[in-house]
Amino acid sequence: MAIIVDKSTRLVVQNLTGREGSFHALRNRAYGTQVVAGAAPGHGGEDVEGIPVFNTVREAVAETGANAAATFVPARFAADALYEAIDAGLETIVCITEGIPVHEMLRLHRYARTHEVTLIGPNCPGVISPGKANVGIIPAEIFAQGSVGLVSRSGTLTYQIGYELAQLGLGNTTVIGIGGDAIVGSSFIDILGRFEIDPETEIVVMVGEIGGDEEEKAARFVAEQMTKPVFAYIAGFTAPPGKTMGHAGAIISGSSGTAQAKKEALEACGIEVGTTPTEVAQLVYERTRR
């Protein structure tokens, strides 16, 4: 079993006719994802290598039975595209777009929750359930199917740890990049809760980074509500205070939000924390051999 996306996912790609949308949609389809439609205003009736394009997401859903969207719409139009996807009745939306204003995401976060839509991102690499479906920009070839759930704020670290696990003969049920912005559609807690009830996920890896307190909240959730072992890696031990490092959400002030503070909070809740991606993978490997 997988979470978020699987073989039943029927994907509509917003801005399929754009360069990024078409490139990654075709890669997703080549992997085995059911990419059933594209949506691009003014391009209805066209197709991209056999994938039909509709003017609206609602039309795409009505004609193809799409139940998920991948959003590759430029930042200045992305909020409207997300509202459109939510209003079309989709179950899952994966927003790759970077640069959506925080005030827009605050409203979108509440709107998605009100409509019971799973929103992943923005500013994320997407979601892959190895062997089943890939939605977004994740390089599928480095991941293997297995029993480890992986959730991360960082795209490249997601790839690195997934690769390290595969090299040790381990694989993933689902890999989710939740995004590195200050406001994202799904939190660590949202995803950890899903992994906890997924019968095929036996171990979970959480990849955090400096800034905010989402990792600390997740640590408390793990201690209070999870029975499965959770391992973690925190990026940013060498980041200077007061600096934004890579992601909009990766800013620290004083001792709050530092990598060391997060590591201590996680370990206090029984979560083993690796100091490098390789060490995290090795910790997971050792746990599977007990």
Whether residue 229 contacts residue 223, with contact meaning beta carbons closer than 8 Å, is answered with: no
Instruction: State phi, psi for 129 to the nearest 5 degrees.
Output: -110, 100
Token duo for residue 285: 């490997």
Whether residue 85 contacts residue 145, with contact meaning beta carbons closer than 8 Å, is answered with: no
**Is 43 labeled as catalytic in the residue annotation?**
no
Catalytic pick among 43, 103, 109, 247: 247
CA 6 distance to own-chain centroid: 14
Coil/strand/helix, residue 251: strand
Pairwise CA distance, residues 151 & 83, whole Å: 25
Side by side, the strands of the sheet bearing 47-48 are 47-48, 51-54, 34-39, 10-14, 68-71, 92-95, 118-120
Which residues participate in catalysis according to the annotation?
247
